[in-house]
Amino acid sequence: MLLRSLNPVAVARGDDIPDAVRIGDSTLSRSDVLGAATSVAERISRADRVAVLATPSVTTVLAVVGCLIAGVTAVPVPPDSGRAELEHILRDSGAQAWLGEAPQNAAGLPVIPVRLHARSWHSYPEPPDTATAFILYTSGTTGPPKGVLLSRKAIAAGLDALAEAWEWTGADTVVHGLPLFHIHGLILGVLGPLRFGGPLVHTVKPVPKAYAAARGTMYFGVPTVWSRIADDPESARALSSARLLVSGSAPLPVPVFDKIRELTGLALIERYGMSETMLTLSTRADGERRPGWVGVPLRGVETRLRDERGGDVSRDGESIGGLQVRGPMLFDGYLGRPEATAQSWTEDGWFKTGDVAVIDPGGFHRIVGRESTDLIKSGGFRVGAGEVETSLLGHPSVREAAVVGVPDPDLGQRLVAFVVGENVSETELIDHVAAELSVHKRPREIRVVDSLPRNAMGKVQKNQLF
């Protein structure tokens, strides 16, 4: 059973948790979730796909769980979607109705309400593990968002591999305030607690004081969240009693890693994944935590690096290559995009992530960035933008940094760094990188900006920097 803690037999015998799900001021017991979600399932059981406006609310949780009980595919929709994006997701997914609520700029689809106090104890057979549980839409940085097909068995395999790496059990209380339309907030942050049995506390917004007040054992956040917590020492110290602090969805600056460890006594867990693969790499609860590195393959996962000609790349901790993965938690393809699906896989069955990375002799991985934007070919050298960004973030005048390659008639591409900070000296930063890394990795230009454009998960959208 995908959501093991919602086993009707266990709930019926009184094995309940009074605060299984708490989102803001709303709290549901385990039996509340089962009863209300089963009532949802009764109303949608004849549907194929429904759209869920993924607000941070118990309505979203009940809608998603109702879909899983009924075997109906859920299409989580970002609440801040613009009209064009919204129309694309609805048209592309083939969603037949809105489940829970509809956005103001949506029209044409019926709305099926989610009633928080309705209860049903009807028993549904477990859907096939090959059934598509979710269609998650990518960020669309290289065109219209693509629908990623995630099966029930992929979700179960991914969560169980994480449980083994993180020693995650029903004794853990998960705390986060992440969006509920991506892997991190929805599958890890909602389905994880419902699979393993521990409470979920969603803070609605991922602000330091809310995290501090939650008193959990596992905290999930993106680097922006951890940076704000690091700047709030009182809230950070309140997390000292936690078991794991987890960062993902974007690279974590080393200074933030160091400051959180200083304030809490805990070294952050860093991990790597994407919509198509869920999580495939992570540092372990019982293993080394190296700032800037995302750890080792999870159980059942294999990785390799390939150069531009498809050849092997050395696992020496320095050589950069395209990261390819395979494992039981990978997606079933892009909805209605057979060509894009075929192009994302090698002939021998490896998924091409589009990210570039290095792997050290011990199997530790460091993600350099996206091959399309973060692998910069300058003066005959291959330079990873992430390595240069990490160096810049180590300078006291820099709060945020993004490095890109721009066309150059002499070098092919030259490195340009966009930085947010105070009292920034272009010459000092260029010299800092040249001394810490090497001369050919130094930015040729520093541009000071007020902020960096980021998406909902905190990733810098480099295509908007120009």
Tell me what the pLDDT averaged over the chain comes to: 91
Secondary element (H or E) of residue 351: strand 351-359
Per-residue pLDDT reduced to its tens digit, 53-85 = 999 999 999 999 999 999 999 999 999 888 888
197: left (phi over 0), alpha (psi -120 to 50) or beta: left
Q: 359 pLDDT band (50/70/90 cuts)?
A: very high
Q: Which two tokens stand for residue 453?
A: 């454009």
For residue 305, give the 3-state DSSP assignment.
Answer: strand
What pLDDT does residue 145 have?
Answer: 86
Of 194, 227, 248, which residue constitutes the final position of a domain? 194
Is 315 a domain residue?
no
Is 214 a domain residue?
no
452 contacts 460 by C-beta, under 8 angstroms: yes
252 contacts 223 by C-beta, under 8 angstroms: yes
Report the percentage of the chain scoring pLDDT > 70: 95
What pLDDT does residue 456 have?
Answer: 65
**In CATH, what number is assigned to the domain containing residue 35?**
3.40.50.12780
Of 162, 194, 226, which residue constitutes the final position of a domain? 194
pLDDT mean over 185-212? 96
Per-residue pLDDT reduced to its tens digit, 127-152 = 999 999 999 998 655 567 899 999 99
**Tally of domains in the chain:** 2
Q: Which residues contact 112 (CB under 8 A, 6 or more apart)?
A: 43, 44, 50, 97, 98, 99, 100
pLDDT of 425 above 80:
yes
pLDDT of 218 above 90:
yes
What pLDDT does residue 163 have?
Answer: 97
Say how many residues make up the chain.
466
Range in 238-242, 274-278, 345-349, 462-466 with the lowest mean pLDDT: 462-466
**Cα separation values, 229 from 220, 223, 304, 390, 462, Å:** 12, 10, 35, 19, 25
**Helix-strand-coil split of the chain, %, nearest 5:** 30, 25, 40
What pLDDT does residue 223 have?
Answer: 87
**In terms of pLDDT, which residue wins out, 74 or 372?**
74
Is 250 a domain residue?
no
Q: Which two tokens stand for residue 193?
A: 């607690």
Q: Which two tokens stand for residue 178?
A: 């992440």
pLDDT of 296 above 60:
yes
Tokens 């979600």, residue? Answer: 37
Domain hosting residue 94, numbered range? 4-13+24-151+186-194
What pLDDT does residue 374 have?
Answer: 75
What pLDDT does residue 454 have?
Answer: 82
Per-residue pLDDT reduced to its tens digit, 435-453 = 888 788 889 999 999 988 8
User: Minimal CA–CA distance to 208: which of 232, 224, 175?
Assistant: 232
Is 297 a domain residue?
no
Does pTM top 0.75 for this prediction? yes
Alpha carbons 366 and 386: distance in angstroms, whole number: 9
Is 435 a domain residue?
yes
Q: Which two tokens stand for residue 66?
A: 């109702």
Alpha carbons 114 and 43: distance in angstroms, whole number: 9
What pLDDT does residue 12 have?
Answer: 55
**In CATH, what number is assigned to the domain containing residue 436?**
3.30.300.30
Q: Which two tokens stand for residue 203?
A: 């803070």
* Sheet strand arrangement including 398-408: 398-408, 412-421, 445-448
Query: Distance between terminal CA atoms of the chain?
Result: 48
Highest mean pLDDT among 17-26, 172-181, 397-406, 429-438: 172-181
What pLDDT does residue 142 have?
Answer: 54
Could you tell me whether strands 365-370 and 351-359 are parallel, antiparallel, or unpaired per DSSP bridges? antiparallel
Query: Residue 230's Cα: distance from chain center in Å?
Result: 20
Is 130 a domain residue?
yes
Is 298 a domain residue?
no
pLDDT mean over 283-288? 96
Of 141, 162, 194, which residue constitutes the final position of a domain? 194
Range in 35-44, 81-90, 101-110, 215-224 with the lowest mean pLDDT: 101-110
User: Minimal CA–CA distance to 209: which of 173, 242, 177, 250?
Assistant: 177
Alpha carbons 181 and 206: distance in angstroms, whole number: 15
pLDDT of 278 above 70:
yes
Per-residue pLDDT reduced to its tens digit, 9-41 = 555 555 677 889 999 999 999 999 999 999 999
What is the torsional sign of CA 297, 301, 302, 306? negative
b (16+ CB within 10 A) / e for 176-196? bbbbbbbbbbbbbbbbbbbbb
